[in-house]
Amino acid sequence: MTAASSMLSLHHVTRRFGGLVAVNDLSMHVQANAIHGLIGPNGAGKSTAFDLISGLTPLSGGSIQFDGADLTRASVEQRVRAGICRTFQTPRLFEKMTALDVVMCGRHLHGRTGILGSMFSVMSKHRDEVNIRRAAIELLDFVGLSDEKDDVVANMPYGKRRLVEIARALATGPKMLLLDEVASGLNPVETAAVSSLIRRLQEQGMTIVLVEHDMRFVMDLCGQITVLNFGTKIASGTPAEVSSNQHVIEAYLGHPRPVGRSRRDQRRAILAPGTDSTDQMEHEQ
Ligand SMILES: Nc1ncnc2c1ncn2[C@@H]1O[C@H](COP(=O)(O)OP(=O)(O)OP(=O)(O)O)[C@@H](O)[C@H]1O
Ligand SMILES: [Mg+2]
């Protein structure tokens, strides 16, 4: 894939924290309308890469282009307006608010151009509360929370809070969503719901980059995958290409295993995702 055909391009991006290089000379290209995976063992630099793309932390070196514009030095707000929005590894929500209020808040960061046409055109053309509310209700419906819109976030199960976070991100009208461990902590039913939601977003034209330790989830959804280890890209390609890449296998095998998982199970999870029920690689919040 070339930089020219990409929605998002990172060129030699580096982030240092004192002596630690969290992201080291990372170049990657995400095609428009792709579902692109960013994987790697704990501490590989995945969330830091998201922080750099979304503007939460400054680059130590390199550059970032998005949708034809150079965003290397843009603020978080400028990136949201350009069409980048993210969710966090641990959902960051105002827990005392209702799901509807949370999503309506997302509207205040609404970018100039949205992907989910009808919903967001309503949001951008009409500034009044009634229409914002109506659009937020449509978004909650879209993510499968039409019955929970008036529920207080703190009282919602974890999987539903994840969906609220996605709906809030969608309310900003993004062209690209960055999803950090969106399936972490979810049961199989909730994971399937999130997976189906991501596919529906892609059908509507969204570009998605996802970080996830659940290999079945990643391999099933993603067309292209970039693999980080200790901040450095060690592989990129299709799920089949990266799962048979020797550097990737060694990176995962060299990593501490989750309790109860044999070395053979861990290798099988990378090589043949979806063939066993222990595909969830070790991760910590
Ligand atoms: N603000 C910070 N200050 C200092 N070091 C940091 C900071 N943020 C991240 N790091 C370090 O950078 C490295 C990469 O961290 P990061 O959170 O990006 O990894 P990750 O791939 O998301 O890991 P995980 O899968 O566990 O979420 C780690 O060694 C981490 O301790
Ligand atoms: Mg992380």
Predicted confidence (pLDDT) per residue in 125-161, tens digit: 555 677 788 889 999 999 999 999 999 999 999 899 9
Given the structure tokens 């570009």, which residue do they identify?
207
Ligand positioned closest to the Cα atom of 284: 1
Type of residue numbered 276 = D
**Mutate which of 16, 47, 59, 283 for ligand 1 pocket (most atoms within 8 A of beta carbon):** 47
User: So what's the pLDDT on residue 262?
Assistant: 52
What is the rounded average pLDDT of the residues 199-215? 95
- The tokens of 193 are what? 């719901």
Token pair 């063992």 is found at: 41
The alpha carbon of 180 and the centre of ligand 1 are apart by a number of angstroms equal to 13
Is the Cβ atom of 44 under 6 angstroms away from ligand 1? yes
- What's the pLDDT band for 50 if we cut at 50, 70, 90? very high
- Residue 37 has phi, psi (to 5 degrees) of -95, 140
Q: What is the sign of the dihedral through the CA atoms of 217, 94, 140 and 177?
A: negative
Q: Which residue among 46, 184, 229, 255 has the greatest number of ligand 1 atoms within 8 angstroms of its CB, and so is best to mutate?
A: 46
User: Taking all residues of the chain, what is their mean pLDDT, rounded to a whole number?
Assistant: 85
For helices 129-142 and 117-125, the axis angle rounded to 10 degrees is 160
- Which has the higher per-residue pLDDT, 254 or 187? 187
Predicted confidence at residue 92, as pLDDT, reads 74
- pLDDT, tens digit (0-9, with 9 covering 90-100), for 178-193: 999 999 989 999 999 9
Angle at 54 between CA 100 and CA 280, to 5 degrees: 75
Integer Cα distance of 262 and 167 in angstroms: 38
> Tell me, which fold does domain 20-50+181-285 have in CATH?
Rossmann fold (3.40.50)
* Of residues 226 and 259, more confidently modeled: 226
Closest Cα partner for 283 from 212, 188, 229, 230? Answer: 212
pLDDT at 224: 97
pLDDT at 107: 72
Rounded to an integer, what distance in angstroms lies between the CA atom of residue 140 and that of residue 146? Answer: 6
Assess whether the C-beta atom of 268 lies below 6 angstroms from ligand 1: no
Secondary element (H or E) of residue 14: strand 6-17
- Give strand pairing partners of 225: 37, 237
pLDDT at 275 over 50: no
Q: Ligand 1: distance of its center to the CA of 249 in Å?
A: 21
Which segments of the chain belong to CATH 3.40.50.300?
Answer: 20-50+181-285
Partnered with residue 66 across adjacent β-strands are 8, 69
Which pLDDT band holds residue 279 (cuts at 50, 70, 90)?
A: very low
- Please give the pLDDT value at position 44: 96
For range 53-79, the mean pLDDT? 96
pLDDT exceeds cutoff 60 at 124: no
Mean pLDDT, range 163-185, rounded to an integer: 94
CA-nearest residue for atom 26, ligand 1, is 42
- Give per-residue pLDDT as tens, 70-122: 999 999 999 999 999 999 887 677 778 999 999 988 776 664 444 555 565 55
Q: Between 208 and 119, whose confidence is greater?
A: 208
Tell me what percent of the residues of the chain surpass a pLDDT of 90: 69
Q: Which residues pair with 6 in a beta bridge?
A: 31
Alpha helices (runs of H) in the chain, residue ranges in sequence order: 46-54, 76-82, 99-107, 117-125, 129-142, 158-171, 188-203, 215-221, 239-243, 246-253, 263-271
CA distances from 208 to 35, 60, 98, 124, 257 (A): 5, 25, 26, 22, 28
